[in-house]
Structure 1
Amino acid sequence: MEYVSRLLSDAIRKSPKNKAVILFGARRAGKTTLLSHLLGNSDARWFSGDHSADVQMLTSLASAADLRVLLDGISSIVIDEAQKIPNIGLLIKRLADLGSSVRVFATASGSLDLADGVMESAAGRIRRFALWPLTIEEIALHTSWLDAVRSLPERLVFGSYPSIVLDPEEAKGSLTAYYDTLLFKDIFSCSGVRKHPAFLRLVEILAYRIGRMSTAESLARECDLSAGTVESYLGLLEESFIIKILPSYAANHANELKKSKKIYFCDLGVRNTAIADFSPFSTRPPEEQGALFENYFVMERIKRHSYKDRFVQHYFWRNKAGSEVDLIELNDDQMQAFEIKLNRSDVKTPSAFAAAYPGASFHVVNQSNFYRYFAEPETPKA
């Protein structure tokens, strides 16, 4: 299939050769394809946690001699779906400790058990990256910025997974099959989730509520789960790159909300599949159109900073009087605020926000200017 170059490629190429590269991301985000492209026709050796024979082989390596036999005659080793390999963190540590010239790569469909296991067992020996569905910049570099901007309605309905962007005719069938068979596979197999119907009901509720304020208690009432279980499920969904949670930002002002959160989908194709709605963007109610556009812009900003390895924190802001800012970005002592309105440009900075955070820059984002926040090297000045 046609290949779309990924912005993460250079960072992976430049990562220290004596450290294992761990590539996290949802299934079908393109992790294996990216590594296949980077490694090309090299003598890499591939294993997969989805293959029982590979799992058995990797878990039976008892000595340093076994590892040297495994690595003999190759330049790289790749372990796909590594979260399914028992004690994978220890295995990566042992491979790194050999100090050989063989590069070690692993992929994982979300953090789940892998992240903590690797971080604990292989501390200082790994370089971790997150791979997201395609960004607007990646799509633009593959086609053109004009095409990428024009395709916004399709991205808001079918999302940005590589296979969907490259084969739009099969989008509905591909997304439905992906949702039904693969999307939650690792959550159900690795996390001990037992109440699958209630879990899927929660996902459906989240899909209807994108961009709206929620609490664990309010969600629990809607899907007949305890608040603690909802919190646990939300954590699993976020670790699996299915949703992104934005907490409310507050700097100890008494009138600011502190416990609410906004929840977005990492990919809108998944969101629309959750509610079985692939109707054209233009036919949807204005409120839903605005929510989809907000979700898209927020996730594109998150992906952008993730790939640039910036330590940017993302929030929303609202006070008890109902004044709100859709997206807050904090980077050290710099704050940027974004009001995201599909068809409006006449939005002013909320006076309560301006009084509380006079140093923040304020941006109004709409469908006419959104691409400028990704096509230019840095965010344009307000």
Structure 2
Amino acid sequence: MSITPEGYLPRLVDEKVERYQRIFGAVEIAGTKWCGKTWTALRHANSVSYVDQSLALATDDPSSMLVGKRPHVVDEWQRVPTIWDYVRHEVDSARRARGSFILTGSSSPLVREKDELPQHSGAGRIGRVRMRPMSLYESGDSVGRVSLAGLFAGEFEPVQVKTDAQKLVYLACRGGWPEAIDLSAADAQQIAREYLQLFRMSTVPDQGKDPELMRRMLFSLARNLGQAATYRTIAADAGDSSAGEPLSEGTISSYLGLLRAAYLLDEVPGWVPPARSAKRVNTKPKRYLADPSLAVAQLALLPGALLADWQTFGLVFENLCMRDLQVYAEAQELCSDVPVRYYRDSAGLEVDAIVELADGRWGAFEIKTSEAKVEEGAASLRRLRRKLTQNPSARVRPPEFMAVITGVSEYAHRVEDGIYAIPICALTA
């Protein structure tokens, strides 16, 4: 019998956790702090050890964190990275004892001494599940009538889903934090600000880095959402003019690495189709924050300001859609290692998101804030399809579907064969 917390809201990763428990001796649920990892782990477990609450004991005797009725949760295991190896050895000693442990972590192990890191990857023994803040479907804000799995299967039915600008702005400001689901935008933004402050004033100095520089880095990333910003651009934004010297590439890389390790930053790489030369396709990553509410908080904006600055909201809305697309793509049974990418080539053609499955099937998405821009997005999708498939000898298979994700809208509908307009508030996995 599980120890499911009262009031638990089902998550799309639940099914994947259950599947991995049937396959692996242990499952790691990793992702952004406060996104609900512990509650999801408890949903699938019979006992738990909290490393944060027993840090001294866990440090002296990591094996003590594995004691309990299985499946057993070890929460925030990365605080004592050697726990990973103890779990691996325990799994090895009892073959076919699948689903024995669930590890949760809100960062990759970040320690200065190499000897403290796990000595083995856990490949074949520990399955990894990525968890993110709640998608609109999980929070109950999407009707979920159009599914990603259905689109890949050639299934689509029109549906009416009316969404106005004020609701969209509210959803972006509130974000996908489970604790914020029933809050106003202003109150939810306090959670986002608290998150960023805790990260800057606790995690950052713990890793020997400067909180003020990290604040400027986050500001640069927030104002360049969805851009393949160069290190030079970030350095210009985040540098201290009074210091005299620009930030080095090594410094920028180090701070970005910390943000990735804390699952605060998502880097979406470029997609290189088989028949295209990498020299003609931009593969530098586009960067998004883990949740749109963090970008809003970092830019010190509230709903009224976003409604008055629709161009900035367009960037925030794209961040929201990319969060949801990654949640939905990662929920697919045939999820690939990097399921969401983007396309941009030397001819200036850009498509916001390419979702590719492990069997090579793919679909493309353009993201637009309103129904009025559907034709603009569809034109880019048509151009991509022509460019990649018009040559009979090309090795690129045709897309299974293409779609324009919309914000302010009323209907999910078919634009033409193979191209759809889908409100973000209609989409699910």
- Normalising by the smaller structure, the TM-score range is 0.7 to 0.9
Q: 1:330-373: CA deviations, max 9, x gaps?
A: 33433322221112111213676344312344322212247567
Matched-pair identity in %: 21
TM-superposed deviation, 1:292? 1.7
Partner of 1:75: 70
In the alignment, which of 171, 184, 189 is matched to residue 155 of structure 1? 171
**2:128 aligned with 1:128, yes or no?**
yes
Query: Where does the alignment leave 5 or more consecutive residues of structure 2 unmatched?
Result: 1-5, 146-159, 240-246, 390-397, 413-420
In the alignment, which of 187, 193, 200 is matched to residue 176 of structure 1? 193
Partner of 2:221: 206
Query: What SS is found at the alignment partner of 1:83?
Result: helix
TM-superposed deviation, 1:132? 0.9
Give the count of matched residue pairs.
364
Partner of 1:34: 40
Q: 1:167 corresponds to which letter in structure 2?
A: L
Partner of 1:326: 352
Distance in 1, matches of 2:81 and 2:350, equals 46
TM-superposed deviation, 1:206? 0.6
Distance in 2, matches of 1:103 and 1:97, equals 11
Within a 5 Å distance, the mapping from 1:1-382 to structure 2 comes to 2-16=7-21, 19-39=25-45, 42=46, 44-48=47-51, 50-51=52-53, 54-61=54-61, 71=67, 74-99=69-94, 103-113=100-110, 117=117, 120=120, 122-140=122-140, 151-168=167-184, 170-182=187-199, 185-189=202-206, 192-224=207-239, 225-251=247-273, 252-253=276-277, 256-280=280-304, 283-309=307-333, 310-311=335-336, 313-331=339-357, 332-343=359-370, 344-347=373-376, 348-349=379-380, 353-358=384-389, 359-360=398-399, 361-367=401-407, 368=409, 369=412, 375=426
Are the aligned partners of 2:350 and 2:380 in contact in 1 as well (CA < 8 Å)? no
Distance 1:219 1:259, change over 3 A: farther
Runs of 4+ more than 6 Å apart:
141-148
TM-score, normalization by structure 1 = 0.82
Are the aligned partners of 2:325 and 2:340 in contact in 1 as well (CA < 8 Å)? no
Deviates more, 1:275-284 or 1:80-89: 275-284
Q: 2:316 corresponds to which letter in structure 1?
A: L
Distance in 2, matches of 1:318 and 1:107, equals 35
Are the aligned partners of 1:71 and 1:102 in contact in 2 as well (CA < 8 Å)? no
Distance 1:59 1:143, change over 3 A: same
CA RMSD of aligned residues (A): 3.4
Distance 1:89 1:282, change over 3 A: closer
Relative CO higher for 1 or 2, CA cutoff 8 Å, sep ≥ 6? 2
Query: What SS is found at the alignment partner of 1:228?
Result: helix
Distance in 1, matches of 2:19 and 2:127, equals 11
TM-superposed deviation, 1:233? 2.2
Distance in 2, matches of 1:118 and 1:205, equals 33
Query: Where does the alignment leave 5 or more consecutive residues of structure 1 unmatched?
Result: none
Partner of 2:155: none
Distance in 2, matches of 1:177 and 1:92, equals 33
Distance 1:244 1:125, change over 3 A: same
Query: What SS is found at the alignment partner of 2:364?
Result: strand
Q: 1:278 corresponds to which letter in structure 2?
A: L
TM-superposed deviation, 1:302? 0.9
Q: By percentage of residues, which structure has more strand?
A: 2
Q: 2:364 corresponds to which letter in structure 1?
A: A
Q: 1:47 corresponds to which letter in structure 2?
A: Y
Q: 1:90-140: CA deviations, max 9, x gaps?
A: 1212332342799322110033449x9558253322121111111122122
Query: What SS is found at the alignment partner of 1:357?
Result: helix
TM-superposed deviation, 1:29? 0.5
Are the aligned partners of 2:133 and 2:291 in contact in 1 as well (CA < 8 Å)? yes
Q: 1:154 corresponds to which letter in structure 2?
A: Y
Q: 1:139-176: CA deviations, max 9, x gaps?
A: 22899989996743322122111111133363132222
Distance 1:250 1:97, change over 3 A: closer
Distance in 2, matches of 1:201 and 1:340, equals 28
Are the aligned partners of 2:73 and 2:101 in contact in 1 as well (CA < 8 Å)? yes
Distance 1:260 1:236, change over 3 A: same
TM-superposed deviation, 1:178? 2.2
TM-score, normalization by structure 2 = 0.73
Query: What SS is found at the alignment partner of 2:21?
Result: coil
Distance in 2, matches of 1:254 and 1:46, equals 47
Query: What SS is found at the alignment partner of 1:140?
Result: coil
